[in-house]
C-alpha cells in the first residue's frame, strides 16, 4: 500500500493500481449478504435467466467499493469530498477487474488543494466497466506554504 | 412510462444503526484488509472514535428501509428490469460504527431515453446524524430496461 506524499501531488499523477477478482459467485453471495442488496439477479441464476441475462453478474456497487479502496489506500478517507460513478457495462463472473485513478485537476481553495481524480474499472481485455470521479480536499504541505 | 408526477415524492424517513459487525462483514465482502476498517484498536490508534464507515457503505444502509423496494412499488417497476446506472456520494464528515443515522429519500428526477426504451429514476438521499446534521448526500440513478 503506497500512501500519497503531498510533495508528489501533481496533475497526471497515477494512483497505485488495485486489482480485484477473478470475480466468483461466492464474492457475489458475500456481497449480497454484507451489503443488504438482495436483488436476486446477482446471485440466483434461474432468476437472472428469466430476466433475459445469460448469467448472474456483479453488483455495480461491489466495483464502486473497490474504487473506494483504491482511494483509501492512497489518502485518508476524511479527505474525500465527492465520489461518483457511472456504471457503463456489466461486470461478469470470472472477470479480473483493474481499478485505476489519475489526478486530472488541482486547485488551491481556502488553504487546501482540491484534487479531481478520474476513476475507472476495466476487465482484463481493457473494457471499461465503470467510470467516475472523486474530489479530494488535501492539506497544502508545509514546504509549499513556505514558497 | 413512469409517471413523472412522482418527481419530488418524499419517502417516510427511516433510521439505521451502523453496526461494527456489519462493517467487518462488508470489509470481508469487498476484500478490505486495512485494519483501520476491521479492528477497533487499529481505528483508535489512527485517531478515530470507532470503526469508520467506508466510502460506499451508506448506500448499503439505505437497504435498511422498512421496505427497500418502496421506490419500485410506488412507480410500478419490475426488479428484473432494473440496473444501477449511476451512484454519487457527497461527504460532509466521516461516520462511525455506533451512530444512528436517518435517511431522507426523495425522487429527484424521472426521465427517459431512446424513445422510452430506457427510463431513469433519480433518488436523492440526505443522511442525517442524531443531532440533525447532514453527514452525506447520496444520488442513485436507477435504469429501467423496457421491452
Does the N-terminal peptide bond of residue A22 adopt cis geometry, omega within 30 degrees of 0? yes
User: Can you state the percent helix, strand and coil of chain A, rounding each to 5?
Assistant: 30, 35, 35
Residue in the block written with cell 431515453: B113
Residues of chain A with Cβ-Cβ distance to B25 below 8 Å are 30, 33-34
CATH of B4-145, one of 3.30.420.40, 3.40.50.300, 2.40.30.10, 3.10.129.10: 3.10.129.10
Closest CA to B133 of B97, B101, B98: B101
Cell numbers that stand for A95 in this block: 472477470
Query: Strand pairing partners for A119?
Result: A101, A132
Question: Who wins on pLDDT, B32 or B80?
Answer: B32
Contacts of A47 in chain B (CB under 8 A): 80
pLDDT digits (tens, 9 = 90+) for B39-50: 999 999 999 999
What are the backbone angles phi and psi of residue B110, rounded to the nearest 5°? -140, 125
Cα(B132)–Cα(B55) distance, integer angstroms: 21
Of A31, A77, A84, the CB nearest to B52: A77
Q: Does the domain formed by A8-21+60-146 have CATH 3.40.50.720?
A: no
* Interface membership of A74 toward B (CB under 8 Å): no
pLDDT, one tens digit per residue, over B49-82 is 999 999 999 999 999 898 888 999 999 999 889 9
Please report which confidence band the pLDDT of residue A144 belongs to, taking 50, 70 and 90 as the band edges: low
A122 φ, ψ to 5°?
-135, 155
pLDDT tens-digit readout, B88-122: 999 999 999 999 999 999 999 999 999 999 999 99
What number of helices (H) and strands (E) belong to chain B? 4, 5
- Answer yes or no: are the C-beta atoms of A117 and A133 closer than 8 Å: yes
Extents of the domains making up chain B: 4-145
Q: CB–CB of B55 and A77 under 8 A?
A: yes
pLDDT for position B77: 93
> Which one of B18, B28, B29 makes the best mutation probe of the A interface by having the most chain A beta carbons within 10 Å?
B29
User: Hey, are the CB atoms on B29 and A85 less than 8 Å from each other?
Assistant: no
Instruction: Check if the beta carbon of residue A115 is closer than 8 Å to that of residue A140.
Output: no
DSSP for A65-107, written as a single string: HHHHHHHHTTS-GGGEEEEEEEE-SPPBTT--EEEEEEEEEEE
CA atoms of B66 and A143, how far apart (whole Å)? 52
Number of CB atoms found within 10 A of residue A71's CB: 23
Amino acid at each position: 500500500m503506497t500512501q500519497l506524499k503531498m510533495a508528489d501531488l501533481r496533475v497526471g499523477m497515477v494512483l497505485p493500481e488495485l486489482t480485484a477478482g477473478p470475480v466468483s459467485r461466492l464474492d457475489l453471495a458475500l456481497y449480497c449478504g454484507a451489503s443488504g442488496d438482495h436483488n436476486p439477479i446477482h446471485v440466483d441464476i434461474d432468476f437472472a435467466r428469466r430476466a433475459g441475462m445469460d448469467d448472474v453478474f456483479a453488483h455495480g456497487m461491489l466495483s464502486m467499493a473497490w474504487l473506494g479502496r483504491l482511494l483509501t489506500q492512497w489518502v485518508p478517507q476524511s479527505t474525500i469530498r465527492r465520489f461518483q460513478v457511472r456504471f457503463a457495462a456489466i461486470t461478469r463472473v470470472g472477470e479480473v477487474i483493474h481499478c485505476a485513478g489519475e489526478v486530472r485537476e488541482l486547485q488551491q481553495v481556502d488553504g487546501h488543494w482540491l484534487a479531481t481524480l478520474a476513476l475507472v474499472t476495466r476487465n482484463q481485455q481493457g473494457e471499461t466497466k465503470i467510470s467516475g470521479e472523486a474530489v479530494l480536499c488535501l492539506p497544502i504541505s508545509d514546504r509549499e506554504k513556505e514558497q | 412510462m413512469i409517471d413523472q408526477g412522482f418527481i419530488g415524492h418524499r419517502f417516510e424517513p427511516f433510521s439505521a444503526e451502523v453496526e461494527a459487525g456489519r462493517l467487518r462483514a462488508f470489509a470481508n465482502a469487498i476484500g478490505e484488509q486495512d485494519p483501520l476498517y476491521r479492528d477497533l484498536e487499529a481505528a483508535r490508534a489512527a485517531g478515530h472514535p470507532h470503526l469508520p464507515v467506508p466510502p460506499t457503505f451508506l448506500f448499503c444502509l439505505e437497504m435498511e428501509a422498512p421496505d427497500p423496494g418502496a421506490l419500485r412499488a410506488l412507480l410500478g417497476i419490475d426488479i428484473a428490469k432494473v440496473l444501477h446506472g449511476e451512484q454519487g456520494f457527497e461527504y460532509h464528515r466521516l461516520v462511525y460504527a455506533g451512530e444512528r443515522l436517518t435517511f431522507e429519500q426523495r425522487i429527484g428526477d424521472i426521465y427517459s431515453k431512446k424513445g422510452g426504451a430506457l427510463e431513469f429514476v433519480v433518488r436523492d438521499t440526505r443522511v442525517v446524524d442524531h443531532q440533525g446534521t447532514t453527514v452525506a448526500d447520496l444520488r442513485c440513478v436507477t435504469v429501467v430496461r423496457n421491452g
